[in-house]
Amino acid sequence: MAYTPLGIFMALVFIGLPFVVRSIQPVIEEIDAEIEEASATLGATRAITLLRVALPPLIPAALTGFTLALARAIGEYGSVIFIAGNIPYVSEIAPLLIVVKLDEFDYAGATAIACVMLAISFALLLAINLLQAWLRRRLGDV
C-alpha cells in the first residue's frame, strides 16, 4: 500500500477518524434508550428504529466530523509523507509540493499552493456551518 493512493487514503482515514468519533460520541450518549424502546413497542423493526430514530440526530454530527476530518486531511503532512512517496501524478500531495517549492526557493509557488489549500479548508468549514444553521432552523420548526 505504500506509494499508492490507497495508502494515502488509509493514512488520512486513520488521522481523520478521531474527529468523526469526537463529533458523534456526545450525540450518541444523549440518545435516550427509552425512545428506541418506545419505537420497538410500537411495532417498528430494528432497521426502522435505526433509520428513523437513532440516525437522524447523528447526521449533523457525522457531517461535522467528516468535514473536520476532510479539512484536516487537506493539510496533513506528517503521517502521509512516509506513505505518499511523491511519485509524480500518482502519489503527490499538496503539503509535500509546498516543501519542494520552498526547497527550490519558489516562495510564490509555495504561497499559491498554500492559499488554495487554505481556501478549500475555509470553504469546507463555511459549508458545514451553513448546513448546520439550516438544519437547526429546519429541525427547530418541527
Domain spans of the chain?
5-141
Give the pLDDT of the chain (142 residues) as one tens digit per residue: 778 888 888 888 999 999 999 999 998 898 888 888 898 889 989 899 888 888 888 888 888 899 889 888 888 888 788 887 777 777 788 888 898 899 999 999 999 999 999 998 899 889 888 888 887 788 765 4
Angle at 113 between CA 17 and CA 83, to 5 degrees: 45
pLDDT of residue 21: 94
pLDDT of residue 59: 85
- The Cα 77–Cα 126 span in angstroms is 23
pLDDT of residue 142: 44
Give the C-alpha distances (Å, rounded to integers) separating 5 from 16, 35, 100, 132.
Answer: 16, 43, 19, 31
- The Cα 122–Cα 137 span in angstroms is 23
24-52 burial: b if 16+ Cβ within 10 Å, else e: beebeeeeeeeebeebeeeebeeeebeee
List the CATH code of the domain at 5-141: 1.10.3720.10
Q: What pTM value is reported for the model?
A: 0.73
